[in-house]
Amino acid sequence: MKTLNVQSVRSSLIRLLNVTEKHSYPISERSEGLATMVITKALTDMAEADNKGIRLYAMSVATCVIWFLDTLEQPLDQAMASIDITRKKRALA
């Protein structure tokens, strides 16, 4: 089973949002796919908020991307750690 590198997902998100990054990590088909799903979910949530009359305040794209990636990094790290623990348990069984 291949692991998914959090930094690769971050680089894929940055690439899809057309933002430049100082230190880019190698991307993969898996990181591109996850990045696409994350962006699709965010856009869907924004559309639903707009339909419900919830106003989203304008922020610069760079500010949104930095916040989003910083927020996403910790849960992805936790998910990858959980997957690794599960894989190790299965290997021992």
pLDDT tens-digit series, residues 51-93: 776 665 555 666 767 777 777 777 778 888 888 888 888 888 7
* One-letter amino acid for residue 88 of the chain: K
Q: Give the start-to-end residue ranges of the domains of the chain.
A: 6-92
State residue 57's pLDDT score: 58
Which pTM was predicted?
0.51
Tens of pLDDT, residue by residue over 2-11, are 677 778 888 8
Residue pointed to by tokens 């690439």: 15
DSSP state for residue 56 in the 8-state scheme? P
DSSP state letters, 10-39: HHHHHHHTT---SSPPP--HHHHHHHHHHH
Backbone angles phi, psi at 22, to 5 degrees: -65, -45
